[in-house]
Chains A and B, each alone.
Chain A
Amino acid sequence: MEIGISALLILILIAFGMSVNASFLAGAIIYLLWSGTSLDSVASTAFFALEKSSILAIPLFMLAGSLMDKAGIADRLIELADALLKKFKGAMGATIPVASMLFGAVNGSGTATISALSKIMLVKLTRMGWDKRYTATMLACSASLGYMIPPNMNAILFSSVANVSVAALFMATVIPGVIWGGLLMIINRIIYTKWYHPKNAIGHTEFTAITTNEVLQDKESGYWSNLFKALLRAIPAIIMMVIIFAGIYSGLFSPTEAGAVAGIYALIVGLLYKTLGLKNIFSVFKETGQSMGSFMIILPMVAIFSRYLILNQVPQTIAGGIASITSNVIIIMLLIDLILVISGMFLDAGVLILVITPMLIPTAEMIGMPITQLAVIMFVCVGIGTVTPPMAMNLFIASKASGIEITDMMTPLKPLLLIGCIPVLILVTFVPEVSLWLPRILGFSV
């Protein structure tokens, strides 16, 4: 009772503009005072909430993402995506999901992906005559591919609350991720004419890609030589993919440590190609360090409140509640999706994974859903959550980078979300093999 009202209070405080971390702290304190529970564990719970090596993946992958961006590795991956898609209509729009997947193969975070890609892609696509409202939204919707393609920081977080293999989780999201990217490309192909106006193009761009489709079809041979050149230029990035992939799967380093390996590699590439100056490097470290306090501080505050959710058996109650509504597995699965999508509107990825996962595991076990599949459902919902306001991290970042208001992104968001993202959720919910097939043939017990 008290815990439920406190939870509601937290939502109200958040709605009234109080910072998310303080809302959770205040909610927990109010609950404790109200229910007459001792406050003794508040500070120690907060402190120990961050004492987990898996959480270290967050700053490491953020550092790596920033270093790759500054070292020019992100640029080269965009060029590669561009060269790959040259033959297709509306290709530049489709380069966004493809570049997100390519960049995803070297970093573990959606936030790092959109931060790195938006700077470059927004400018270039706008100069070619693409509507910024569309490109910004496409960037936000594609960013989740950054972790759906392994390495995947969310998988590392997930494994810290559920006993599953991180390596198996990495494989589980590959096929859903590729399908997700494919859907976004298909939607782009259908609607791009609405958002692409070549007559608005500003002069010449250094990108070889299409400004008009006619030019393309004439230069069939140019495609391959172009792709070859782009591939050559992308070699440092491709080597990086190989190192990270081989390193994790040969056991040379853990998924968390992959963040550090990627960071050091980007540092070396940047120094070799002279794209990274000393000043740049220091600013990357400083900015990443400074940004930690704004979102990592949410974790200890949520931990305080979730301790009392656990002590009050709330996860079991919710699981039992779902079970008491119906025994129909399909409806239970839809309810899981619904809980996650709604939670995703309000909560950030870390909170969603760390708080909601323990609540859903009993339900998943009850209906015989493998935890690996639950994880994939979770990750897709995390991705959807990053583009569903009010708490829509990737929309915020895209809006900040493009100068476009969130409200102006709603029109292009509708098709991308409804036809691009939601079907992926339905697919991973009802077709377990989409997630489980790849880890299984690679020998994981999922």
Chain B
Amino acid sequence: MNLLKLADKGIEKIVNSLVTVAMILILFIVFFQVLARFYHFSIGGFEEFPTYMMIVCTWLTAAMHVKRKGHISLNLFALFIKDLKTTKIINIITTLITAIAFAIFSILALDVIRYNLEMDYTTAGLKMPYWILMGLMMFSTIIMTIYYTKDIIVGIKEVIAWK
């Protein structure tokens, strides 16, 4: 369990540093693209880099947001249902649906990754292999599945404790 916690912390740290660097790169590469056009020099295929950085950042930070409940949600039913236990049970059910959805997504992602690896597909400019980029997407959805599953277990334990 401690090892898992350590891994969890490690991942968060890596993701945080990675997105910081990625955002700096996104800003500066797009800016250099403007300069490059103006002064007629080439940034050699790097035009596409910011887009893929953005994709990777989106998926990775999406996984981190599960932990701090940072995903956009509305919770209309909370306006009508004030009962704590009912709320908790609804919460467990929606989390379960979410976890299953992301688990299915991860399996489907594996197929696409395998396919892109087999066909050796790469991005147009920098020739980055698609399977690696898609691999990061799958990594994120696996992490999300794990976090949601953990939330379900914690929730169920709470429900059991009521009795």
Residue B146 interfacial (CB < 8 Å): no
CA A56 – CA B23 in complex, angstroms?
Answer: 11
Task: Tell me the complex Cα distance, A259–B58, Å.
Answer: 18
Q: Is A298's CB within 8 Å of the partner chain B?
A: yes
CA distance A145 to B16 in the complex (A): 32
Q: Is the CB of A297 within 8 A of B71?
A: yes
Q: Which residue from chain B places its CB closest to the CB of A25 in the assembled complex?
A: B101
Cα A286 to Cα B137 in complex, Å, equals 20
Give every chain A residue within 8 A of B62 (Cβ-Cβ).
Answer: 21, 293-294, 296-297
* A273 at the binding interface (Cβ < 8 Å): no
Contact B75 A17 (CB under 8 A): yes
Residues of B within 8 A of A43 (CB): 105, 108-109, 111-112, 134, 137-138
Given A50-B54, A257-B30, A259-B30, are A19 and B73 also a contact pair (CB < 8 Å)? yes
Cα-based distance from A346 to B65 in the complex (angstroms): 21
Asked whether A292 lies within 8 Å of B58 as measured between CB atoms, the reply is: yes
What number of residue pairs across chains A and B have CB atoms under 8 A from each other? Answer: 188
Q: Select B108's contact among A40, A53, A291, beta carbons within 8 Å.
A: A40
B23 contact set on A, CB distance < 8 A: 59, 63, 285-286, 288-289
**Contact of B42 with A by CB under 8 A:** no
Does B38 make an interface contact (CB < 8 A)?
yes
Q: Which residues of B contact A56 (CB under 8 A)?
A: 26, 30, 50-51, 54
Q: Does B78 contact A (CB under 8 A)?
A: yes
Closest to A265 in B: B31
Stretch at the interface among A8-16, A315-323, A429-437: A8-16
Chain B hits for A348, CB < 8 A:
72
Q: A47-B137, A63-B23 are in contact. Are A17 and B73 (CB under 8 A)?
A: yes
Look across to chain A and name the residue whose beta carbon is closest to the beta carbon of B73.
A19
Assess the A51–B20 pair: CB atoms within 8 A: no
B137's nearest neighbour on chain A, judged by CB, is: A47
Find out whether the CB atom of A63 lies under 8 angstroms from the CB atom of B27. Answer: yes
CB distance from B104 to the nearest CB of A (A): 6
Task: Encode B66-109 as 1/0 by CB contact (under 8 A) with A.
Answer: 00001111111110000000000011011101101110110011
Least Cβ distance of B1 to chain A in Å? 26
Known: A59-B26, A293-B63. A39 touches B55 (CB 8 A): no
The A interface is mostly helix, strand or loop, or mixed, namely helix
The answer to whether B27 touches A292 (Cβ under 8 A) is no
- B65 and A293 contact, CB distance less than 8 A: yes
Closest chain B CB from A166 CB (angstroms)? 16
Q: Which residue of B lies closest to A247 (CB)?
A: B34
Interface 1/0 per residue, B30-66 and A, CB below 8 Å = 1101100110000000001011101101111111110
**A366, chain B: closest CB distance, angstroms:** 33
Instruction: Please judge, given known A-B contacts A44-B112, A63-B27, whether A19 and B97 are in contact too, CB under 8 Å.
Output: no
Q: Output the nearest chain A residue to B79 by Cβ-Cβ distance.
A: A390
Query: Among residues 273 to 310 in chain A, which have CB atoms less than 8 Å away from a CB atom of chain B?
Result: 282, 285-286, 288-298
* B72 and A21 form a contact (CB under 8 A): yes
Shortest Cβ distance from B21 into A: residue: A285
User: How many interface residues does chain A have, given as a range?
Assistant: 35 or more
With A260-B31, A293-B65 already in contact, the answer to whether A282 and B51 are too (CB < 8 A) is: no
A261 at the interface (CB under 8 A from B): yes
Report the bound CA distance from A44 to B134 in whole Å: 8
Instruction: Compute how far the CA of A16 lies from the CA of B94 in the bound complex, rounded to whole angstroms.
Output: 8
Pair A19/B71 contact, Cβ less than 8 Å: yes
Which of A260, A292, A295 is in CB contact (< 8 Å) with B57?
Answer: A292
Question: Given contacts A16-B90, A51-B55, is CB(A289)–CB(B61) below 8 Å?
Answer: yes
Q: Are A47 and B134 in contact (CB under 8 A)?
A: yes
Are A17 and B71 also in contact (CB < 8 A) when A50-B55, A59-B54, A289-B20 are? no
**Given known A59-B26, A260-B31, contact A18–B61 (CB-CB < 8 A):** no
A230 surroundings in chain B (CB, below 8 A): none
Binding site for B on A (CB under 8 A): 13-22, 25-26, 29, 39-40, 42-44, 46-47, 50-53, 55-56, 59-60, 63, 252-253, 256-257, 259-261, 263-264, 282, 285-286, 288-298, 346, 348, 390-391
A-B pairs, top 10 by smallest CB distance, nearest first, are: A293-B61, A289-B19, A293-B62, A19-B71, A260-B30, A17-B75, A18-B94, A297-B62, A43-B109, A22-B98
Provide a sorted-by-A list of 26 A–B residue pairs whose CB atoms are within 8 angstroms.
Answer: A15-B77, A16-B76, A17-B73, A18-B94, A18-B95, A19-B71, A20-B73, A22-B97, A25-B102, A26-B98, A29-B105, A43-B112, A43-B134, A50-B58, A52-B51, A56-B30, A63-B27, A253-B34, A260-B28, A260-B33, A285-B27, A286-B20, A289-B57, A292-B19, A292-B58, A293-B59
